[in-house]
Each structure stands twice: as C-alpha cells, then as structure tokens.
C-alpha cells in the first residue's frame, strides 16, 4: 500500500528517468500509457520499503534449519521484551530456490498515531528505521527543547536535507516513520564536545515493524538484500579458486563468495576508500572467513604492466583470477526506501565512464574460460543494459551466460540488445508488481518481485 509521496528527485533527473523508461524500444513494445504507468509505479515503490527482510544464513557454519530455529528463538526473546507472550510470533521462511536465504515478513504500514513531540532524523536514518533499525544518535538532527531520556517521541525523516542540526523544531518536508522512547537527554546529543554514540531513540511503534538485527546472531544471520545474495550464486565460485571482488566494501558479497567456497581458495577484496576497508575485515572476522585478503586499492589500476610480476597484492598480472565480480559504484537509484535524492543529472550520469574503466581492468584480470559478473543497484539503462551492449562490442572475447538462479525479470529494452540477450540478463524491477495484488501475495512468491532495483549480467571470457 502506498502511504509516502513518490521519491523526490530534481526535475531534470525525473525527466531523464522518464525518457529512459519511455524509450523508443519500450514504446514499440507497450503503449505509452502502460509505460508511463510503470514509471510512476517505480517512483512510488522506491519511497516504500520492501515487504520483507532478507537474511543470508551462514550455511558454511551451520545447517539452514538450525540457523532458522536459533534465529526464531532469539527474535522471540526480543519480542517478549515489548509484547505479551500470547502475541509473540515470528515467521521465518526459507527461500524456495536459494539455499542460504531466510525471509521475514515486515508488518506495515501499521496504524500508528503521530505525537506532538518530534525528533527529526536525516533521510538515511529515516530509511534505516523503515527497515527495522532504531535511531542512532548521529542520525538525530533536531529534538524537542527539553527532551529527556525516557520521553516518548515521534520520529520524522527530513526529506530534503534542510533541517539544521541542533534545531528544536522543523517545518520543512518531513515524513513520520514511527514512535519511540528517547534513550538520551537533548543536552547529551547537541551540547557536548564528545559526540554521543549508540541508540538515541528506541523504536517501540514503528510504522513498518520488522525485527531489529542489532547484535542478533551476528555470525549466522547477515542482513542482505535478496538480489545481492543472488549475485554470489550467479558468480558460482568453487572451493580452491582465486576470485577477485573489485569494489568490495563493506564486504557483504565478498563474504558470501568465501562462504560459498567453504573458505577454501582465495578471495581478493579491493576497495578504493581506506576507511571502508575495516568493515570488510570486521565482516570476514565475524563470519569466521579466513580466505579473504583485503587491500585498499583503486581497481582501475589493478592490472600490472609487468606480466611477470608475482606479488601477492595488487596490481596483479593479467589473467590472475578464475572469476571476477564487478559490483560497480553506481547512481544507486534502486535503493529502497529512498524518499529523496538531491543529486543533479550530471552526478547521476557520472558513473558510466568509471564503470567502463573498471570493466577494462576486470576483463584483463580474468583468465580465459573465467566468469565475470557485473552488477549495480540502479535502474538506469546507461549503467546496465547499455554497459552490456558496450562490453559485448568492446571485448569480442566475452559472451553472455545464463544465470542461476534467475528469479528477476529480463533486461530492459532500449540498448539495442536482442531478445535472446535480454533474456540472459537479470533486472529486478519492483515497479512491475507494485500494486495491491503484488504485495498481498504470500511471502515466498512476492519476495522475488518486491526487491530493491538491481541488475546482474554474467559473462564468460573465451
Ligand atoms: C556498490 S558498492 C560495493 C558493495 C559491496 N560489493 C558489497 O556487496 O558489500 C561500490 C564500492 O566501490 C568502491 N569503489 C568506487 N570506485 C572504486 C575504484 N576505482 N576502485 C575500487 N573500489 C571503488 C566504493 O568505495 C564502494 O565501496
């Protein structure tokens, strides 16, 4: 059900996206009204959270059923703290086709009454609350003047990033995301030299209720969007192989790859941003994975000009890897929920050249007969199908491969790809089933459709 306004974008970005979703090839296949209706649904579903939470289970450490049982027990304990014993029920379902996925329904939107006491949080924090998080202190922008720990407050998300930090009220564009209990006085948030950390508002009546995974079985249950889990399976790593993850932080997919290899072989994880590298180490340690080697490195320069170089770390000689994952930096327009994006069209369009540079390095580093997977969490043609068309033309050694599992839709029309090529691509398009019927379907059926916007292409190097 829609309760939030459509995602707010700069008009130039809306016009651009509309021209993408109503491109000539699309309009030759479906009528204008239908294409426009899909585009409007996209803008609406992007501002709403998916109707379930996806957990990747560490099946390299324990069987799925055991993890499912333990998770159920932990979440029951969590619920007992806020509800009476009769009300406690936790539904955790396995995914019918993906052996390491557990799905938990989200209850929402719920009829929660907004209060007069308002805590304003940043848009990113507001989106996290809609996916089950509490409010952490750094996310708080404004609070009532005399707010004390223990006060019951409403939490609202600042849609356009206009709320001044430390304000006592805010009249700009905002949306209500639920009620909670302040864990900290206002003075400890804004009037200290040492910035406070930890939970600032514990959500007790969120608009969308889903379990908080903060500290719950951290080594066995890893929160990850369903399409991101699909990427690991599509890459298909095998024990003993050497794999490169070119854009790895925070390491969700790196760890999945190592887990699928039963921690046998080597997974090289690169990321350009130094302070994100620690997260890859932490995640690998938490999941007991030792086959991961992490380096802070610009992957566009990861190919060594000296083919005889035998160094352990980057740059690497050409053809050093059995499989390469290029989970590319992208405009991120598929993320849900996302109520506003303040980026200019120039920013949105800035990723295509960088992705191509990374692609060049990926193809060189892959051995003949190896597999390359390219993925993004965005919805544009320029970063997805157009990149595939460009890659097939630029690298005659590459051919598109079928994906397993293929639970999303096929590629989108508009980049000149043939119907056979489009069928080999996997595009997660939540707008295609954004209606009452789609969200009312039983969970395992709707899980594959009610996802973030995402794209996956799999290539073989001949
Ligand atoms: C989509 S995120 C990766 C998410 C990650 N694969 C996961 O599943 O947890 C893209 C990452 O690319 C990194 N990045 C951007 N440009 C890069 C470059 N030239 N070389 C290496 N990493 C880069 C960013 O720092 C960011 O962490």
Question: Which residues have a Cβ under 8 Å from the Cβ of 407 and sit 6 or more positions away?
Answer: 97, 98, 230, 426, 448
Q: Give residue 223's pLDDT.
A: 95
Quick one: 125 exposed, middle or buried, by C-beta within 10 A (0-12, 13-18, 19+)?
buried
446 lies in the same domain as 300: yes
The complex scores an ipTM of 0.99
274 & 328 share domain? yes
2 inside domain? no
Atom of ligand 1 at shortest range from CA of 270: 21
Dump pLDDT digits (tens) for 109-145.
999 999 999 999 999 999 999 999 999 999 999 999 9
Contact in structure between 68 and 102 (CB atoms under 8 Å): yes
Report pLDDT digits (tens) over 389-423.
999 999 999 999 999 999 999 999 999 999 999 99
Res 456: pLDDT: 99
73 and 171 assigned to the same domain: no
This prediction has a pTM of 0.95
Asked if 317 and 345 sit in the same domain, the reply is yes
Q: Are 294 and 162 members of one domain?
A: no
Residue 66 inside a domain? The answer is yes
What total of structural domains would you count in the chain?
4
**Pair (354, 437) in one structural domain:** yes
Annotated binding residue 248 = yes
Q: Which portions of the chain are predicted below pLDDT 70?
A: 82-88, 436-440
Among 171, 206, 241, which residue terminates a domain? Answer: 206
Question: Do residues 171 and 296 share a domain?
Answer: no
Told to judge if 377 belongs to the known catalytic residues of this protein, a careful annotator would answer yes
Cα 100 from Cα 256, distance rounded (Å): 10
Q: Which atom of ligand 1 is nearest to the CA of 300?
A: 19
Q: Is residue 219 part of a domain?
A: no
Read off the CATH number of the domain in which 290 is found: 3.40.50.150
Residues with CB under 6 A from ligand 1: 228, 247-253, 270-273, 276, 298-300, 327, 329
**Where does a domain end: 206, 237, 265?**
206
Report the Cα 331 to chain-centroid distance in Å: 12
Let me know whether 275 and 418 are in one domain. yes
One domain for residues 56 and 42: no
Whole-angstrom Cα distance, residue 146 to residue 144?
6
Per-residue model confidence (pLDDT) at position 436: 55
Same domain, 305 and 325: yes
Query: What is the residue range of 98's domain?
Result: 52-105
- Is 218 within the bounds of a domain? no
Distance 345 CA to ligand 1 centre (A): 21
Indicate whether 5 belongs to any domain: no
Q: Are residues 263 and 154 in the same domain?
A: no
């Amino acid at each position: 059900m829609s309760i939030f306004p459509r995602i707010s974008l700069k008009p130039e970005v809306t016009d651009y996206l509309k021209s993408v979703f109503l491109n000539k090839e699309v309009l030759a296949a479906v009528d204008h009204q239908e294409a426009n209706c899909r585009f409007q649904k996209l803008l609406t579903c992007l501002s709403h959270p998916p109707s379930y939470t996806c957990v990747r289970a560490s099946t390299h450490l324990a069987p799925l059923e055991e993890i499912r049982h333990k998770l159920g027990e932990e979440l029951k304990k969590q619920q007992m703290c806020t509800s009476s014993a009769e009300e406690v029920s936790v539904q955790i379902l396995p995914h019918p086709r993906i052996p390491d996925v557990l799905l938990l329904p989200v209850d929402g939107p719920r009829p929660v009454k907004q209060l007069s006491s308002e805590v304003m949080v940043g848009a990113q924090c507001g989106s996290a609350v809609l996916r089950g998080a509490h409010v952490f202190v750094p996310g708080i922008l404004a609070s009532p003047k005399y707010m004390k720990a223990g006060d019951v407050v409403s939490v609202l998300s600042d849609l356009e990033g206009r709320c001044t930090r430390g304000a006592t009220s805010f009249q700009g564009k905002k949306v209500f995301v639920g009620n909670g209990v302040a864990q900290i006085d206002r003075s400890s948030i804004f009037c200290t030299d040492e910035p406070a950390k930890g939970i600032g508002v514990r959500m007790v009546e969120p608009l969308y209720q889903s379990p908080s995974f903060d500290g719950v079985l951290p080594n066995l249950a890893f929160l990850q969007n369903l399409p991101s889990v699909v990427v690991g399976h599509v890459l298909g790593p095998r024990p003993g192989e050497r794999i490169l993850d070119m854009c790895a932080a925070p390491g969700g997919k790196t760890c999945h790859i190592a887990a699928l290899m039963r921690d046998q072989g080597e997974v090289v994880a690169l990321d350009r941003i130094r302070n994100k590298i620690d997260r890859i180490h932490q995640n690998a340690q938490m999941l007991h994975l030792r086959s991961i080697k992490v380096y802070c490195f610009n992957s566009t320069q990861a190919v060594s000009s000296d083919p005889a170089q035998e160094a352990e770390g980057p740059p690497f000689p050409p053809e050093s890897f059995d499989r390469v994952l290029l989970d590319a930096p992208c405009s991120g327009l598929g993320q849900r929920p996302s109520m506003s994006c303040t980026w200019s069209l120039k920013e949105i369009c800035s990723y295509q050249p960088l992705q191509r540079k990374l692609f060049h390095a990926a193809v060189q580093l892959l051995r003949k007969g190896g597999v390359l997977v390219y993925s993004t969490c965005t919805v544009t043609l320029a970063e997805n199908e157009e990149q595939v068309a460009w890659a097939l033309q630029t690298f005659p050694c590459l051919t598109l491969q079928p994906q397993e599992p293929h639970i999303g839709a096929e590629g989108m029309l508009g980049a000149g790809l043939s119907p056979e090529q489009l069928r080999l691509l996997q595009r997660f398009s939540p707008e295609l089933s954004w209606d009452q019927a789609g969200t009312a379907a039983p969970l395992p059926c709707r899980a594959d459709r009610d996802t973030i916007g995402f794209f996956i292409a799999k290539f073989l190097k001949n």
